[in-house]
Amino acid sequence: MTQRRSFLAALGSLPVVGLGMGWAQAATGDASHNMMNMGAATSVTSVKLAAVDALPAGTALKGLVKLANTSGQAGLFRASLVAAPVNVPLLAGAPTEFWAYNGNLPGPLIEVVEGDTVEILFENRLPQATTVHWHGLPVPPEQDGNPQDAVAPGSKRLYRFTLPVGSAGTYWYHPHPHGSTPEQVYRGLAGAFIVRAKVDPLKDIPERLLVISDLKLGADGRIAPNDANDEMNGREGQFALVNAQRQPVLPFDRSGRERWRLWNASSARYLRLVLPGTGLTLVGTDGGLLERPIKGLAELLLAPAQRAEVIVDAGSNKSRVQLVAAPYQRGKMGTVPAETQLSLLTVDFSQVEGLAQKPLPAKLARINELGRPAVKKRVVFSEKMSMAGGQHEMKFLVNGKQFDMKRIDLVSKINQVELWEIANESDMDHPFHIHGTQFQVIEREMDGKVTPEAYRAWRDIVNLKAGETVRIKLVQRFKGLRMFHCHILEHEGAGMMGQLQVV
Protein backbone atom coordinates (compact mmCIF):
# COMPACT_ATOMS: atom_id res chain seq x y z
CA MET A 1 0.00 0.00 0.00
CA THR A 2 1.20 3.48 -0.71
CA GLN A 3 1.39 4.63 2.87
CA ARG A 4 3.43 1.62 3.80
CA ARG A 5 5.74 2.30 0.92
CA SER A 6 6.25 5.90 1.89
CA PHE A 7 6.81 4.81 5.44
CA LEU A 8 9.44 2.30 4.37
CA ALA A 9 10.98 4.78 1.99
CA ALA A 10 11.30 7.32 4.76
CA LEU A 11 12.82 4.67 6.95
CA GLY A 12 15.19 3.58 4.20
CA SER A 13 16.65 7.04 3.86
CA LEU A 14 17.58 7.24 7.49
CA PRO A 15 20.68 5.99 9.18
CA VAL A 16 19.54 2.66 10.55
CA VAL A 17 21.81 2.39 13.56
CA GLY A 18 19.99 1.49 16.72
CA LEU A 19 16.82 0.71 14.87
CA GLY A 20 15.96 -2.02 17.32
CA MET A 21 15.60 0.56 20.04
CA GLY A 22 12.84 2.26 18.11
CA TRP A 23 13.52 4.00 14.88
CA ALA A 24 12.70 7.42 16.26
CA GLN A 25 15.96 7.45 18.07
CA ALA A 26 17.84 6.50 14.94
CA ALA A 27 15.91 9.08 13.00
CA THR A 28 16.70 12.00 15.22
CA GLY A 29 19.90 10.74 16.76
CA ASP A 30 18.61 12.11 20.02
CA ALA A 31 16.89 9.95 22.55
CA SER A 32 15.22 12.90 24.22
CA HIS A 33 13.30 13.63 21.03
CA ASN A 34 10.18 11.61 21.12
CA MET A 35 8.83 10.73 17.70
CA MET A 36 5.25 10.48 18.78
CA ASN A 37 3.19 12.65 21.01
CA MET A 38 3.22 10.03 23.69
CA GLY A 39 2.27 10.43 27.29
CA ALA A 40 4.74 11.01 30.07
CA ALA A 41 4.85 7.29 30.77
CA THR A 42 6.51 6.59 27.45
CA SER A 43 10.18 6.34 26.73
CA VAL A 44 11.85 5.92 23.39
CA THR A 45 14.19 3.26 24.64
CA SER A 46 12.97 0.07 26.20
CA VAL A 47 13.64 -0.67 29.85
CA LYS A 48 15.21 -3.97 30.81
CA LEU A 49 12.46 -6.51 31.21
CA ALA A 50 12.11 -9.28 33.77
CA ALA A 51 13.05 -12.72 32.43
CA VAL A 52 10.23 -14.67 30.79
CA ASP A 53 10.42 -17.23 33.60
CA ALA A 54 10.59 -14.66 36.39
CA LEU A 55 7.00 -15.38 37.38
CA PRO A 56 6.08 -18.81 38.74
CA ALA A 57 4.23 -21.12 36.36
CA GLY A 58 2.26 -24.30 36.82
CA THR A 59 0.06 -23.35 39.77
CA ALA A 60 -3.58 -24.43 39.83
CA LEU A 61 -5.84 -22.09 37.89
CA LYS A 62 -7.78 -19.78 40.17
CA GLY A 63 -11.36 -18.76 39.64
CA LEU A 64 -12.33 -15.12 39.34
CA VAL A 65 -13.23 -13.25 42.50
CA LYS A 66 -16.89 -12.24 42.31
CA LEU A 67 -18.12 -8.76 43.06
CA ALA A 68 -20.57 -9.24 45.94
CA ASN A 69 -24.14 -8.09 45.44
CA THR A 70 -25.16 -6.11 48.53
CA SER A 71 -28.76 -5.59 47.45
CA GLY A 72 -31.36 -7.78 49.09
CA GLN A 73 -33.79 -6.97 46.34
CA ALA A 74 -34.59 -9.31 43.46
CA GLY A 75 -33.63 -7.83 40.11
CA LEU A 76 -31.19 -5.34 41.60
CA PHE A 77 -27.44 -5.81 41.63
CA ARG A 78 -25.75 -3.32 43.91
CA ALA A 79 -22.05 -3.15 44.63
CA SER A 80 -19.13 -0.82 44.97
CA LEU A 81 -15.98 -0.70 42.98
CA VAL A 82 -12.80 1.14 43.91
CA ALA A 83 -9.93 1.81 41.53
CA ALA A 84 -6.69 2.18 43.48
CA PRO A 85 -3.00 1.32 43.38
CA VAL A 86 -2.13 -2.02 44.91
CA ASN A 87 1.26 -3.59 45.58
CA VAL A 88 1.75 -7.19 44.54
CA PRO A 89 4.93 -9.09 45.41
CA LEU A 90 5.95 -10.59 42.06
CA LEU A 91 9.72 -10.41 41.95
CA ALA A 92 11.91 -10.87 44.97
CA GLY A 93 12.65 -7.62 46.75
CA ALA A 94 10.49 -5.24 44.75
CA PRO A 95 6.70 -5.35 44.90
CA THR A 96 4.92 -4.37 41.69
CA GLU A 97 2.47 -1.52 41.82
CA PHE A 98 -0.63 -2.31 39.82
CA TRP A 99 -3.80 -0.28 39.53
CA ALA A 100 -6.72 -2.53 40.30
CA TYR A 101 -10.45 -2.65 40.95
CA ASN A 102 -11.08 -3.63 44.59
CA GLY A 103 -7.49 -4.85 44.76
CA ASN A 104 -8.22 -7.75 42.40
CA LEU A 105 -6.28 -8.78 39.32
CA PRO A 106 -8.17 -9.14 37.07
CA GLY A 107 -10.95 -6.94 38.44
CA PRO A 108 -13.79 -8.74 40.25
CA LEU A 109 -16.28 -10.58 38.08
CA ILE A 110 -19.61 -8.84 37.81
CA GLU A 111 -22.29 -11.42 37.26
CA VAL A 112 -25.92 -10.46 36.74
CA VAL A 113 -29.03 -11.86 35.06
CA GLU A 114 -30.62 -10.26 32.02
CA GLY A 115 -33.33 -7.87 33.12
CA ASP A 116 -31.37 -6.82 36.23
CA THR A 117 -30.78 -3.25 37.23
CA VAL A 118 -27.14 -2.62 38.10
CA GLU A 119 -26.02 0.06 40.56
CA ILE A 120 -22.33 0.43 41.03
CA LEU A 121 -20.91 3.04 43.28
CA PHE A 122 -17.50 3.77 41.90
CA GLU A 123 -14.67 5.47 43.72
CA ASN A 124 -11.52 6.74 42.09
CA ARG A 125 -8.47 6.45 44.31
CA LEU A 126 -6.04 6.69 41.42
CA PRO A 127 -3.70 9.66 41.00
CA GLN A 128 -5.52 10.59 37.79
CA ALA A 129 -9.03 10.88 36.37
CA THR A 130 -10.76 7.76 35.12
CA THR A 131 -14.12 6.38 34.04
CA VAL A 132 -15.64 2.90 33.99
CA HIS A 133 -16.74 1.79 30.55
CA TRP A 134 -19.11 -1.18 30.24
CA HIS A 135 -17.63 -2.67 27.12
CA GLY A 136 -20.27 -4.13 24.81
CA LEU A 137 -23.23 -3.59 27.11
CA PRO A 138 -26.35 -1.72 26.00
CA VAL A 139 -26.18 0.99 28.67
CA PRO A 140 -27.24 4.63 28.22
CA PRO A 141 -24.38 6.86 27.01
CA GLU A 142 -24.31 8.95 30.18
CA GLN A 143 -23.69 5.73 32.18
CA ASP A 144 -21.10 4.30 29.81
CA GLY A 145 -17.91 5.91 31.10
CA ASN A 146 -17.34 8.18 28.12
CA PRO A 147 -14.12 10.23 28.26
CA GLN A 148 -16.32 13.33 28.73
CA ASP A 149 -17.62 11.97 32.03
CA ALA A 150 -14.36 11.71 33.94
CA VAL A 151 -14.36 10.84 37.63
CA ALA A 152 -11.72 13.01 39.27
CA PRO A 153 -9.15 11.51 41.66
CA GLY A 154 -10.67 11.22 45.11
CA SER A 155 -14.27 11.40 43.92
CA LYS A 156 -17.15 8.98 43.47
CA ARG A 157 -19.95 8.42 41.05
CA LEU A 158 -22.85 6.05 40.72
CA TYR A 159 -23.27 4.06 37.51
CA ARG A 160 -26.80 2.82 37.05
CA PHE A 161 -28.36 0.91 34.18
CA THR A 162 -30.79 -1.87 33.41
CA LEU A 163 -29.71 -4.73 31.18
CA PRO A 164 -32.57 -5.77 28.94
CA VAL A 165 -33.71 -9.34 28.40
CA GLY A 166 -31.80 -10.56 25.37
CA SER A 167 -28.50 -9.01 26.44
CA ALA A 168 -27.03 -12.19 27.96
CA GLY A 169 -23.40 -12.45 26.95
CA THR A 170 -19.73 -12.12 27.84
CA TYR A 171 -18.62 -8.55 28.42
CA TRP A 172 -16.02 -6.65 30.36
CA TYR A 173 -15.36 -3.31 31.97
CA HIS A 174 -12.32 -1.07 31.83
CA PRO A 175 -11.37 2.61 32.12
CA HIS A 176 -11.99 5.00 29.22
CA PRO A 177 -10.58 8.39 30.27
CA HIS A 178 -9.30 10.79 27.67
CA GLY A 179 -5.71 9.96 26.77
CA SER A 180 -4.83 7.56 29.56
CA THR A 181 -6.90 4.47 28.75
CA PRO A 182 -3.85 2.49 27.55
CA GLU A 183 -1.89 3.14 30.73
CA GLN A 184 -4.80 2.46 33.09
CA VAL A 185 -5.57 -0.85 31.41
CA TYR A 186 -1.98 -2.04 31.25
CA ARG A 187 -1.58 -1.21 34.92
CA GLY A 188 -4.30 -3.74 35.66
CA LEU A 189 -7.71 -2.08 35.44
CA ALA A 190 -10.05 -4.49 33.65
CA GLY A 191 -12.65 -6.99 34.79
CA ALA A 192 -15.08 -9.52 33.39
CA PHE A 193 -18.83 -8.94 33.23
CA ILE A 194 -21.28 -11.76 32.53
CA VAL A 195 -24.93 -11.26 31.84
CA ARG A 196 -26.63 -14.61 32.36
CA ALA A 197 -29.65 -15.69 30.39
CA LYS A 198 -32.83 -16.59 32.25
CA VAL A 199 -32.96 -19.73 30.13
CA ASP A 200 -29.58 -21.09 29.14
CA PRO A 201 -29.46 -24.17 26.90
CA LEU A 202 -25.88 -24.91 28.03
CA LYS A 203 -26.37 -24.43 31.76
CA ASP A 204 -25.59 -28.05 32.64
CA ILE A 205 -22.07 -27.88 31.26
CA PRO A 206 -19.43 -26.87 33.84
CA GLU A 207 -18.19 -23.42 33.08
CA ARG A 208 -14.67 -22.03 33.09
CA LEU A 209 -13.83 -18.33 32.98
CA LEU A 210 -10.52 -17.42 31.39
CA VAL A 211 -9.46 -13.78 31.31
CA ILE A 212 -6.31 -13.45 29.24
CA SER A 213 -4.27 -10.33 29.79
CA ASP A 214 -0.88 -8.96 29.00
CA LEU A 215 1.88 -7.94 31.39
CA LYS A 216 5.05 -6.13 30.51
CA LEU A 217 7.17 -6.21 33.61
CA GLY A 218 10.50 -4.48 34.09
CA ALA A 219 13.44 -6.28 35.67
CA ASP A 220 13.12 -3.75 38.51
CA GLY A 221 9.68 -5.14 39.30
CA ARG A 222 7.81 -2.16 37.90
CA ILE A 223 5.27 -2.25 35.15
CA ALA A 224 7.30 -1.16 32.15
CA PRO A 225 6.35 2.03 30.33
CA ASN A 226 5.47 1.86 26.65
CA ASP A 227 8.35 2.14 24.25
CA ALA A 228 8.20 3.38 20.68
CA ASN A 229 7.29 -0.04 19.32
CA ASP A 230 4.43 -0.31 21.80
CA GLU A 231 3.10 3.07 20.73
CA MET A 232 3.24 2.07 17.09
CA ASN A 233 2.12 -1.56 17.16
CA GLY A 234 0.28 -1.68 20.44
CA ARG A 235 1.79 -2.90 23.67
CA GLU A 236 2.77 -6.51 24.11
CA GLY A 237 4.55 -7.61 27.25
CA GLN A 238 6.64 -10.70 27.85
CA PHE A 239 3.78 -12.34 29.74
CA ALA A 240 0.34 -13.46 28.60
CA LEU A 241 -1.51 -14.27 31.81
CA VAL A 242 -4.68 -16.24 32.42
CA ASN A 243 -6.68 -14.94 35.40
CA ALA A 244 -3.47 -13.05 36.25
CA GLN A 245 -1.47 -16.30 36.49
CA ARG A 246 1.40 -17.37 34.29
CA GLN A 247 0.77 -20.73 32.61
CA PRO A 248 -1.58 -22.13 35.26
CA VAL A 249 -2.86 -25.70 35.22
CA LEU A 250 -6.55 -26.25 34.54
CA PRO A 251 -7.89 -29.52 35.99
CA PHE A 252 -10.40 -30.49 33.32
CA ASP A 253 -13.83 -31.59 34.52
CA ARG A 254 -14.33 -35.35 34.99
CA SER A 255 -17.33 -35.26 32.70
CA GLY A 256 -14.98 -34.63 29.78
CA ARG A 257 -16.69 -31.44 28.72
CA GLU A 258 -16.41 -27.79 29.72
CA ARG A 259 -17.82 -24.50 28.55
CA TRP A 260 -15.13 -21.85 28.38
CA ARG A 261 -15.74 -18.14 28.32
CA LEU A 262 -12.64 -16.44 26.99
CA TRP A 263 -11.73 -12.78 27.23
CA ASN A 264 -8.87 -11.15 25.37
CA ALA A 265 -8.28 -8.33 27.82
CA SER A 266 -4.85 -7.43 26.49
CA SER A 267 -3.96 -4.06 25.04
CA ALA A 268 -2.86 -5.30 21.66
CA ARG A 269 -1.98 -8.97 21.63
CA TYR A 270 -3.86 -11.15 19.16
CA LEU A 271 -4.64 -14.60 20.51
CA ARG A 272 -4.68 -17.32 17.93
CA LEU A 273 -5.80 -20.02 20.30
CA VAL A 274 -4.97 -23.65 19.60
CA LEU A 275 -5.58 -26.64 21.88
CA PRO A 276 -3.96 -29.53 20.01
CA GLY A 277 -5.85 -32.78 19.78
CA THR A 278 -8.99 -31.39 21.30
CA GLY A 279 -12.35 -30.55 19.76
CA LEU A 280 -13.38 -26.92 20.06
CA THR A 281 -16.95 -25.92 19.34
CA LEU A 282 -17.82 -22.26 19.08
CA VAL A 283 -21.11 -21.50 20.81
CA GLY A 284 -20.96 -17.80 21.56
CA THR A 285 -19.39 -14.48 20.64
CA ASP A 286 -19.15 -11.12 22.43
CA GLY A 287 -22.87 -10.52 22.70
CA GLY A 288 -24.15 -14.01 23.48
CA LEU A 289 -24.87 -17.44 22.08
CA LEU A 290 -24.87 -18.31 18.40
CA GLU A 291 -27.91 -19.79 16.72
CA ARG A 292 -26.18 -23.17 16.38
CA PRO A 293 -22.89 -24.63 17.60
CA ILE A 294 -20.02 -24.51 15.12
CA LYS A 295 -18.01 -27.69 15.51
CA GLY A 296 -14.50 -28.68 14.66
CA LEU A 297 -12.59 -25.46 15.11
CA ALA A 298 -8.86 -26.02 14.71
CA GLU A 299 -8.12 -22.59 16.12
CA LEU A 300 -9.87 -19.50 17.38
CA LEU A 301 -8.60 -16.00 16.78
CA LEU A 302 -9.42 -13.51 19.52
CA ALA A 303 -8.51 -9.97 18.58
CA PRO A 304 -7.87 -7.51 21.41
CA ALA A 305 -11.07 -6.97 23.48
CA GLN A 306 -12.87 -9.86 21.78
CA ARG A 307 -14.64 -12.63 23.69
CA ALA A 308 -15.91 -16.09 22.81
CA GLU A 309 -17.67 -19.05 24.32
CA VAL A 310 -16.46 -22.50 23.33
CA ILE A 311 -17.33 -26.03 24.32
CA VAL A 312 -14.19 -28.05 24.92
CA ASP A 313 -14.46 -31.83 24.64
CA ALA A 314 -11.67 -33.93 26.09
CA GLY A 315 -12.24 -36.63 23.51
CA SER A 316 -9.68 -39.36 24.07
CA ASN A 317 -7.25 -36.96 25.73
CA LYS A 318 -5.93 -38.30 28.99
CA SER A 319 -2.80 -36.27 29.42
CA ARG A 320 -1.72 -32.67 29.69
CA VAL A 321 -2.17 -30.40 26.70
CA GLN A 322 -1.05 -26.81 26.36
CA LEU A 323 -3.43 -24.11 25.25
CA VAL A 324 -1.21 -21.92 23.11
CA ALA A 325 -1.39 -18.64 21.29
CA ALA A 326 0.11 -19.53 17.91
CA PRO A 327 2.08 -16.90 15.98
CA TYR A 328 -0.16 -14.42 14.19
CA GLN A 329 1.13 -11.91 11.67
CA ARG A 330 -0.65 -8.60 12.08
CA GLY A 331 1.60 -6.33 10.08
CA LYS A 332 3.66 -4.81 12.86
CA MET A 333 5.96 -2.00 11.77
CA GLY A 334 9.51 -1.13 12.68
CA THR A 335 12.03 -3.61 13.96
CA VAL A 336 10.18 -6.05 16.13
CA PRO A 337 11.02 -9.57 17.24
CA ALA A 338 9.56 -12.43 15.22
CA GLU A 339 6.21 -13.74 16.41
CA THR A 340 6.59 -16.79 18.60
CA GLN A 341 4.21 -19.31 20.06
CA LEU A 342 3.14 -18.58 23.63
CA SER A 343 1.93 -21.13 26.10
CA LEU A 344 -1.11 -19.80 27.97
CA LEU A 345 -2.09 -22.67 30.21
CA THR A 346 -1.89 -26.42 30.64
CA VAL A 347 -5.09 -28.42 30.51
CA ASP A 348 -4.86 -31.52 32.67
CA PHE A 349 -7.25 -34.14 31.32
CA SER A 350 -6.13 -36.87 33.72
CA GLN A 351 -9.32 -36.81 35.82
CA VAL A 352 -11.60 -37.27 32.82
CA GLU A 353 -13.71 -40.38 33.09
CA GLY A 354 -14.28 -40.57 29.38
CA LEU A 355 -18.03 -40.62 29.52
CA ALA A 356 -19.80 -40.45 26.20
CA GLN A 357 -21.05 -36.94 25.62
CA LYS A 358 -24.62 -36.03 24.92
CA PRO A 359 -24.93 -34.14 21.68
CA LEU A 360 -25.03 -30.37 22.16
CA PRO A 361 -28.40 -28.75 21.59
CA ALA A 362 -28.84 -28.11 17.89
CA LYS A 363 -30.39 -24.72 18.58
CA LEU A 364 -28.82 -22.31 21.03
CA ALA A 365 -30.40 -18.90 20.58
CA ARG A 366 -32.43 -16.83 18.21
CA ILE A 367 -30.62 -14.02 16.50
CA ASN A 368 -32.98 -11.82 14.59
CA GLU A 369 -31.74 -10.57 11.26
CA LEU A 370 -31.63 -6.79 11.67
CA GLY A 371 -33.42 -6.07 8.41
CA ARG A 372 -32.91 -3.59 5.64
CA PRO A 373 -30.56 -0.74 6.50
CA ALA A 374 -31.99 2.75 6.11
CA VAL A 375 -28.60 4.42 5.73
CA LYS A 376 -25.03 3.58 5.00
CA LYS A 377 -21.92 4.92 6.70
CA ARG A 378 -18.27 4.49 5.92
CA VAL A 379 -15.41 4.41 8.38
CA VAL A 380 -11.82 4.30 7.17
CA PHE A 381 -8.87 3.33 9.35
CA SER A 382 -5.57 4.64 8.07
CA GLU A 383 -2.08 5.46 9.22
CA LYS A 384 0.10 8.28 8.11
CA MET A 385 3.73 9.15 8.60
CA SER A 386 4.39 12.79 9.02
CA MET A 387 7.27 15.05 9.89
CA ALA A 388 6.61 17.54 12.62
CA GLY A 389 9.36 19.77 13.93
CA GLY A 390 12.01 17.51 12.44
CA GLN A 391 10.54 14.43 14.12
CA HIS A 392 8.85 11.52 12.51
CA GLU A 393 5.40 10.85 13.76
CA MET A 394 3.01 8.00 13.01
CA LYS A 395 -0.59 9.01 13.02
CA PHE A 396 -3.50 6.60 13.33
CA LEU A 397 -6.63 8.05 11.80
CA VAL A 398 -10.34 7.48 11.45
CA ASN A 399 -11.72 9.02 8.26
CA GLY A 400 -8.50 10.98 7.93
CA LYS A 401 -8.72 12.57 11.37
CA GLN A 402 -7.40 12.16 14.86
CA PHE A 403 -9.85 11.96 17.76
CA ASP A 404 -11.24 15.24 19.00
CA MET A 405 -13.54 15.19 22.02
CA LYS A 406 -15.23 18.33 20.78
CA ARG A 407 -16.04 17.00 17.32
CA ILE A 408 -18.98 14.82 16.29
CA ASP A 409 -17.86 12.61 13.44
CA LEU A 410 -21.06 10.78 12.59
CA VAL A 411 -24.74 11.11 13.42
CA SER A 412 -27.20 8.21 13.67
CA LYS A 413 -30.90 8.06 14.25
CA ILE A 414 -32.12 6.13 17.23
CA ASN A 415 -33.63 2.69 16.46
CA GLN A 416 -32.64 2.85 12.79
CA VAL A 417 -30.82 -0.03 11.11
CA GLU A 418 -27.57 1.13 9.54
CA LEU A 419 -25.01 -0.49 7.33
CA TRP A 420 -21.48 0.46 8.31
CA GLU A 421 -18.69 -0.18 5.90
CA ILE A 422 -15.38 -0.24 7.74
CA ALA A 423 -12.29 -0.16 5.59
CA ASN A 424 -8.76 -0.76 6.76
CA GLU A 425 -6.55 1.25 4.46
CA SER A 426 -3.52 0.79 6.65
CA ASP A 427 -0.93 -1.96 6.66
CA MET A 428 -1.69 -3.40 10.04
CA ASP A 429 -4.66 -5.27 11.53
CA HIS A 430 -7.01 -3.10 13.57
CA PRO A 431 -9.92 -4.40 15.68
CA PHE A 432 -12.97 -2.14 15.20
CA HIS A 433 -15.21 -1.52 18.21
CA ILE A 434 -18.31 0.58 18.77
CA HIS A 435 -19.98 1.42 22.07
CA GLY A 436 -23.52 0.86 23.15
CA THR A 437 -24.65 -1.91 20.86
CA GLN A 438 -23.86 -5.27 19.35
CA PHE A 439 -23.59 -5.58 15.58
CA GLN A 440 -23.89 -8.30 12.95
CA VAL A 441 -21.11 -8.82 10.43
CA ILE A 442 -22.65 -9.16 6.97
CA GLU A 443 -19.63 -9.67 4.73
CA ARG A 444 -15.91 -9.14 4.41
CA GLU A 445 -14.07 -7.95 1.33
CA MET A 446 -10.43 -8.49 0.53
CA ASP A 447 -8.69 -7.88 -2.82
CA GLY A 448 -12.08 -7.40 -4.48
CA LYS A 449 -13.41 -10.72 -3.23
CA VAL A 450 -16.54 -10.51 -1.08
CA THR A 451 -17.15 -13.27 1.45
CA PRO A 452 -20.54 -13.33 3.15
CA GLU A 453 -20.29 -14.02 6.86
CA ALA A 454 -20.83 -17.74 7.44
CA TYR A 455 -23.09 -17.35 10.47
CA ARG A 456 -25.04 -14.72 12.33
CA ALA A 457 -23.54 -13.53 15.60
CA TRP A 458 -23.64 -10.58 17.98
CA ARG A 459 -20.31 -8.83 18.18
CA ASP A 460 -18.86 -5.56 19.36
CA ILE A 461 -15.37 -6.25 17.98
CA VAL A 462 -14.48 -7.18 14.45
CA ASN A 463 -10.91 -7.51 13.28
CA LEU A 464 -9.85 -5.91 10.00
CA LYS A 465 -6.81 -7.22 8.29
CA ALA A 466 -4.67 -4.79 6.29
CA GLY A 467 -6.59 -3.87 3.15
CA GLU A 468 -9.80 -5.50 4.33
CA THR A 469 -13.30 -4.01 4.30
CA VAL A 470 -16.00 -5.34 6.62
CA ARG A 471 -19.71 -4.52 6.37
CA ILE A 472 -21.78 -4.67 9.51
CA LYS A 473 -25.36 -3.84 10.48
CA LEU A 474 -26.21 -2.13 13.71
CA VAL A 475 -28.87 -0.20 15.60
CA GLN A 476 -28.33 2.28 18.44
CA ARG A 477 -31.13 2.20 21.01
CA PHE A 478 -30.24 5.27 23.10
CA LYS A 479 -29.78 8.92 22.24
CA GLY A 480 -26.43 10.41 23.10
CA LEU A 481 -22.74 10.20 22.47
CA ARG A 482 -20.90 7.00 21.52
CA MET A 483 -17.30 6.25 20.71
CA PHE A 484 -16.05 3.96 17.97
CA HIS A 485 -12.39 3.08 17.69
CA CYS A 486 -9.59 0.66 17.15
CA HIS A 487 -9.26 -1.50 20.26
CA ILE A 488 -5.50 -1.69 20.09
CA LEU A 489 -5.42 0.63 23.05
CA GLU A 490 -2.32 2.56 22.02
CA HIS A 491 -4.01 3.34 18.70
CA GLU A 492 -7.17 4.45 20.46
CA GLY A 493 -5.01 6.57 22.77
CA ALA A 494 -3.23 8.07 19.78
CA GLY A 495 -6.55 9.18 18.33
CA MET A 496 -7.84 6.28 16.22
CA MET A 497 -11.30 6.99 17.55
CA GLY A 498 -14.39 8.84 16.44
CA GLN A 499 -17.61 10.05 18.01
CA LEU A 500 -21.11 9.13 17.02
CA GLN A 501 -24.04 11.27 18.09
CA VAL A 502 -27.30 9.30 18.25
CA VAL A 503 -30.30 11.60 17.85
Q: How far apart are CA 461 and CA 478, in angstroms?
A: 19
CB distance 359 to 279 below 8 Å? no
What number of other Cβ atoms are within 10 A of residue 179's Cβ?
16
Q: What are phi and psi of 128, to 5 degrees?
A: -145, 165
How near is the Cβ of 483 to ligand C2O at its closest, in Å? 5
CB closer to ligand C2O out of 55 and 481: 481
**Which residue in 151, 486, 500, 502 binds Cu ion (CB under 5 A)?**
486
Q: What are phi and psi of 23, to 5 degrees?
A: -75, -10
How near is the Cβ of 472 to Cu ion at its closest, in Å? 15
> Is 483 a binder of ligand C2O (CB under 6 A)?
yes
> Is 485 a binder of ligand C2O (CB under 6 A)?
yes
Q: How far apart are CA 291 and CA 40, in angstroms?
A: 47
Q: Which does 483 bind (CB under 5 to 8 A by kind): ligand C2O, Cu ion, none?
A: ligand C2O
The DSSP secondary-structure symbol of 416 reads -
Q: How far apart are CA 347 and CA 349, in angstroms?
A: 6
**Which residue in 441, 472, 481, 488 binds Cu ion (CB under 5 A)?**
488
Kindly write out the interface string for residues 406-435 of this chain, putting x where it contacts ligand C2O by CB under 6 A and - elsewhere.
---------------------------x-x
**Which residue in 157, 176, 208, 491 binds ligand C2O (CB under 6 A)?**
176
Q: Segment contacting ligand C2O (CB under 6 A): 27-35, 104-112, 223-231, 481-489?
A: 481-489
Q: How far apart are CA 196 and CA 77, in angstroms?
A: 13
Q: Which does 305 bind (CB under 5 to 8 A by kind): ligand C2O, Cu ion, none?
A: ligand C2O
* Pairing of β 133-135 and β 497-502: unpaired
> Is 435 a binder of Cu ion (CB under 5 A)?
yes
> Is 482 a binder of Cu ion (CB under 5 A)?
no
**Which residue in 27, 67, 114, 135 binds Cu ion (CB under 5 A)?**
135
**Which residue in 269, 377, 459, 491 binds Cu ion (CB under 5 A)?**
491
Q: How far apart are CA 263 and CA 309, in angstroms?
A: 9
Window 304-333: residues binding ligand C2O (CB under 6 A): 305
Burial annotation 90-107 (CB, 10 A radius, 16+ → b, else e): bbeeeebebbbbbbbbbb
> Is 235 a binder of ligand C2O (CB under 6 A)?
no
CB closer to Cu ion out of 349 and 396: 396
> Is 459 a binder of Cu ion (CB under 5 A)?
no
Kindly write out the interface string for residues 105-134 of this chain, putting x where it contacts ligand C2O by CB under 6 A and - elsewhere.
----------------------------x-
How near is the Cβ of 67 to Cu ion at its closest, in Å? 19
CB distance 317 to 280 below 8 Å? no
- The answer for 300, left when phi > 0, alpha when psi is -120 to 50, beta otherwise, is beta
CB distance 116 to 163 below 8 Å? yes
Q: Which does 176 bind (CB under 5 to 8 A by kind): Cu ion, ligand C2O, none?
A: ligand C2O
Tell me, letter by letter, the H, E, C secondary structure of 328-364.
CCCCCCCCCCCCCCEEEEEEECCCCCCCCCCCCCCCC
Q: How far apart are CA 11 and CA 5, in angstroms?
A: 10
Kindly write out the interface string for residues 61-100 of this chain, putting x where it contacts Cu ion by CB under 5 A and - elsewhere.
----------------------------------------
- Residues in the site for Cu ion, rule: CB under 5 A? 135, 430, 435, 486, 488, 491
- Residues in the site for ligand C2O, rule: CB under 6 A? 133, 135, 174, 176, 305, 433, 435, 483, 485, 487
